[in-house]
Structure 1
């Protein structure tokens, strides 16, 4: 069930409609190059972008814009919808790096194209083909995010104000992805490192920078941007911590990913770092990051996480970060409607089950 504040002003359908129109035009472009070979590319991107997702990033950007005094327009909705293509790029690449089998209940893009290779009886290694295709599709989504922003109909002067935020956001999420990979490789298990990764991999591009992007579209001054950062950064970290909890304890029929996938992938999250601090490293050295981890192993790690106090500690941090964010929002100079909606979006981001 969609949280009501995610669909305020009919935003979800308007974002989907903008994405659908843009992707149809891109499909036509691909068909003009090679209709048979490139149809699966269009199919895969449409399935990921249009087939699900909470639309949190466009929602925070839109209400950041409205909160700063911006007037509603379809052009602005199209501009904030471009953030979904940044998200699609990050998801495709993230699934490759993590070796994830599924995304939103369907095969991850690299698995999808490996399956296409096998079904066609093509030459070479299907998994190599799937990984290569996914890297390229992730890159294509990032390119298309640029194209959608510039084709939104927002005037060039406004785009000029907002573009530096858009660029910084994409830089930060890419750096965050690298920090995540590097942290797993080094085995750094500190909560400080986990928090750093959470801020750059997720918090900043999920909430903080979309809000600041919206403020830039509205022509707001630096004080509004600072207030949005004070609200968005702790809330974004709380969002990622909730994601980490769901990655271990979530219901796969709801999350669309197998139970315990984060454990098999060896994610060094705040939840895991807190568990190691509370229980020691031995059980995690033995089981964390084992791609063959079975239900018994998942249950053992879950039990250790709970008994170490890490789950309680993570839930407490989510509550503390959310409270800090809402306090900052309360002091921000934004419209009353936007304050109400952003408060609701904070609940949607941190109290979700998917």
Structure 2
């Protein structure tokens, strides 16, 4: 257990107990609850209909969030850069990251037409149900899309509010803001490259990796690590090592997500399996499979994986899964995940972080992408 405490001085409230990365992931719930309650009060003062329909849904969606990995990675970056003492600023940063994640997921589900998220109807699906139940006029889908876009916007606005409060209090506020500024721009760029590649029917491996980096790797791991470090007087060498570690771990995380999207069990992932295949989203998995099929002359696989003008049926999705297996692409991606995870741990060691902090980071990488080799000198 790391000798680190949250105190009454921090935004999290009075919590006098040692804090680890997993503790931070749990403790951020307290910060989120306090902020969301305040946000809902402000929303009700603005307009009760907006509060009940939009703000309540954003708060509910955020509260049923996942593993809070971004908070934990921010904590690791803070500790690796010499952070100690009151962890309130790190937890507030973590809460802002969770709200950015809520924005990204709400908008992503709209763009992808996904019906399920976190084991429940996606936000736009819930808005469509509300429209039908209230017997409102006009197409439910159009209303739901517009309302979900606004819900995502609100989540991002709330995230910015939290980050601004944090930056104004921090002696390193300018560094914190610049990292945040980069994160938001990269996230939008990644989402656009994603839909652009899908519309263009792209299959390139390099393009797939660019999308994975912009859309996920940066804002899932690299930026949270750097944001945590920006709360300290971290030197350039430490921050560079954190960026390298985060980019590798973030890519491994996205590649695992690609595999789960194609082969995962919805009961375990909380989202439908095969949605990315149905719309032929350009993933590293798809790009590798296409290249392998072309190189081997497997015309059946090339045809199964190629662009189409309409969403695929369940039968054609099964053909795609078979092609992903037969070409060896699934095995290639599994090997790439292991390679990236191991490289990430080696970069993190270059920060000079204490062994216990390195062990915490290794455990997070393991949690995010699956079992990884122990490169910390201690059992994970």
Instruction: Name the TM tier (shorter chain).
Output: over 0.9
Alignment check: 8 A CA contact 1:67 1:334 kept: yes
Q: Choose from 123, 129, 136 the match for 1:109.
A: 123
**Cα distance, 1:154 vs structure 2:** 6.8
Q: Residue 3 of structure 1 aligns with which residue?
A: none
Does 2:87 align with 1:68? no
User: 2: distance between equivalents of 1:219 and 1:166?
Assistant: 17
Matched with 1:325 is: 344
Q: Select between 98-107 and 63-72 the one with higher mean Cα deviation.
A: 63-72
Specify the alignment match of 1:205 in structure 2. Answer: 219
Instruction: Count the aligned residue pairs.
Output: 345
SS at match of 2:306: helix
Shift in alpha-carbon separation, 1:195–1:289, aligned structure 2, 3 A: farther
The counterpart of 1:233, out of the listed 243, 247, 257, is: 247
Alpha-carbon offset, residue 332 of structure 1: 2.2
Match of 1:86 among 100, 107, 121: 100
**Which of 148, 157, 161 is residue 162 of structure 2 equivalent to?**
148
State how far apart, in whole Å, the 2-side matches of 1:125 and 1:144 are. Answer: 29
Q: CA 1:304/1:289 → structure 2, altered by over 3 Å: closer, same or farther?
A: farther
Give the structure 1 partner of residue 44 of structure 2.
31
Q: Structure 1 residues 297, 9: closer, same or farther in 2, change over 3 A?
A: closer
1:134 aligns with 2:168: no
1:80 Cα offset (Å):
2.2
Larger Rg: 2
Partner residue in 1 for 2:304: 283
Instruction: List per-residue Cα deviations over 1:18-42 (Å, max 9, x = no partner).
Output: 1111011010011112224421212
Check conservation: 2:124, 2:144, Cα contact below 8 A: yes
Q: 1:293 maps to which residue?
A: 313
1:309–1:147 Cα change, 3 Å: same
How many angstroms apart in 2 are the aligned matches of 1:47 and 1:98?
21
Question: Matched residues in 1 for 2:248 and 2:309: separation?
Answer: 28
Using the TM superposition, give the Cα deviation of residue 201 of structure 1 relative to its aligned residue in structure 2, in angstroms.
0.3
Moved more, 317-326 or 7-16: 7-16
Query: Normalized per residue, which structure has more helix?
Result: 1
1:75–1:153 CA contact under 8 A, matched in 2 = no
Normalising by structure 1, report the TM-score: 0.93
Per the TM alignment, residue 64 of structure 1 is displaced from its structure 2 partner at its CA by 0.6
Stretch of structure 1 that moved more, 336-345 or 154-163: 154-163
Structure number with the bigger relative contact order (C-alpha 8 A, sep ≥ 6) is: 1
What runs of 5+ residues in structure 2 fail to find an aligned partner?
Answer: 1-18, 295-301, 372-380
Q: Is the 8 A contact 1:161 1:219 kept in 2?
A: no
Query: Partner residue of 1:309?
Result: 328
**TM-score where L is the length of structure 2:** 0.87
